[in-house]
Amino acid sequence: MAAQKAEGIILRKYLLRETSYILVVFTKEFGKVRGVLKGARNPYPQFAGNFEIFTRCELLFYRKKKKSMDLVTGCDAIDFFLPVRKDIERTTYANYFVELVDIVTADHDANERLYSVLLDGLSLLAKASSPKRTARIFEIKLLDAVGLGSRLDECSECSSSCEGEFRFSVRSGGILCPDCSKKDSASYRISRGTLNFMRKIQSTPFSRTQHVKVSREVGEEAEKALKRFIQYHIGRQTKSMKFLEDMERRHIIK
């Protein structure tokens, strides 16, 4: 079979024997590719430095349909996102981004929209924008890209318009009207300001989201809502988010 060429972002890498790696790469054209990169740890490796986590790369691989692993024969870096790697908070958020993408994707299930979300998220992290706000934008865009976007303009159960106090349901995937919220004891109040922020991010192209203003209170409420929603759907907290929370408790980051 002919070699496949793709643009991708490295999600994970593992050691395999003495000289090889297993790379997990989310590609624009083919979705997640899991392949063996042989000879990468030789004394004179031909791929040196090209396969660090969240590196954007050009991948050359052979699809092995009868095996669980493909064969990677080329991995050339396009962008290392160096400004991100110089800051522990930004680096941890970048790890969070690739960890989430890894969790919500299956091998060889292409999703070009999700690839663009990951690339845009890492690119925004590399700028002077707030890492926390970038993370909220990324989470909202990722959920939309995988079909889990929240319904924020009408009741997610009965589709009626919602007036007055809003409540958010992770089970229903959006806001609830007063009648439907009575049937979901786990739903919780969410402010109009937070809903407006989330709606604005949903409707704004990623390239323009950095101009969307958000108060500290709205940012904190959006963080709690999105954290609950994501954990509900993936069934656990990510390792990167646990690390971020630990750094906040120790006042390493604010």
3-state secondary structure of 73: strand
Domain boundary among 56, 80, 104: 80
Does 196 lie in the same domain as 242? yes
What pLDDT is recorded for position 44? Answer: 47
Q: What DSSP state is assigned to residue 2? A: P
Residues 69 and 102 in one domain: no
Local structure of 196: helix, strand or coil: helix
Phi-psi region at 93: left, alpha or beta (left = phi > 0; alpha = psi -120 to 50): alpha
Domain boundary among 80, 102, 137: 80
* Whether 89 and 189 share a structural domain: yes
Please provide the average confidence, as pLDDT, over all residues in the chain. 90
Q: What are phi and psi of 21, to 5 degrees?
A: -125, 155
Strands 70-79 and 31-37, how do they pair?
A: parallel
* Tokens matching residue 54: 């969240």
Is the Cβ–Cβ distance between 141 and 206 less than 8 Å? Answer: yes
Q: Is residue 146 part of a domain?
A: yes
- Same domain for 98 and 52: no
Number of domains in the chain: 2
The answer to whether residues 101 and 225 belong to one domain is yes
81 and 94 Cβ atoms separated by less than 8 Å: yes
In the block, residue with structure tokens 């299930």:
109
pLDDT for residue 150 is more than 70: yes
CB 10 within 8 A of CB 55: yes
Q: What is the pLDDT of residues 40-74, one digit of tens each?
A: 655 445 555 568 999 999 999 998 877 778 999 88
Whole-number Å distance between alpha carbons of 17 and 32: 23
3-state SS, residue 31: strand
pTM for the model stands at: 0.92
Domain at 63, CATH number: 2.40.50.140
Q: Residue 147 belongs to what domain range?
A: 85-249
CATH number at residue 174: 1.20.1440.120
pLDDT over 70 (residue 135) = yes
Domain assignment present for residue 254? The answer is no
Residues 94 and 39 placed together within one structural domain of the fold: no
Single residue among 19, 51, 80 that ends a domain in this structure: 80
Percent of the chain with pLDDT over 90: 70
Q: What is the pLDDT of residues 182-209, one digit of tens each?
A: 899 999 999 999 999 999 999 999 989 9
